[in-house]
Amino acid sequence: MIESLDRDNAGLTLDMGHANTNGLVLDFMADLGKVIHVHLHDNKGRSDEHLELGKGTIKWKDIMPKFKNYKGRFVTEARTVEEGKASLKISEKYNKINIFIIFFNSNFQFKSNYRMLKPRSWK
């Protein structure tokens, strides 16, 4: 699909929570070559709950090392600032990620140093 676009700047988004609701986490991770954006959040495999990492059924200690050579962006989807920070701490424990961004459903964004960025909707 990506090849049909005939563009160098196109890629795929891998949403780990969505992969888990389909029971296909490892299958989706088999080829990260075209992945340029990863959404990290957890769930219990039935619905897209946006739980902090470690609160669902994804085995992060097995998953995070697979991103060792990944050069794209990560986004955690969390329900609160606290859950987002907890997910960041857990992800950094497994894999040192310097370009990590947290997205909160409440429309706040933080970088890994927790500096708050103003949402685009604010004037």
pTM score of the predicted model: 0.76
Q: What is the pLDDT of residues 85-101, one digit of tens each?
A: 888 888 877 765 544 55
Q: How confident is the model at residue 123 (pLDDT cuts 50, 70, 90)?
A: very low
Tokens of 67: 């991103």
How far apart (Å, rounded) are the C-alpha atoms in residues 35 and 116?
26
What is the per-residue pLDDT for 9?
77
Whole-number mean pLDDT of the chain?
A: 78
Residue position matching structure tokens 């604010």: 122
The total number of structural domains in the chain stands at 1
Tell me which residue range forms the domain holding 52.
Answer: 3-117
The verdict on residue 122 lying in a domain is: no
Instruction: Find the mean pLDDT for residues 32-53.
Output: 92
The verdict on residue 59 lying in a domain is: yes
The verdict on residue 123 lying in a domain is: no
108: domain CATH number is 3.20.20.150
How far apart (Å, rounded) are the C-alpha atoms in residues 50 and 56?
9
- Chain centroid offset of residue 13 CA: 9
The verdict on residue 35 lying in a domain is: yes
How far apart (Å, rounded) are the C-alpha atoms in residues 91 and 96?
8
CA angle 45–59–13, rounded 5-degree value: 70
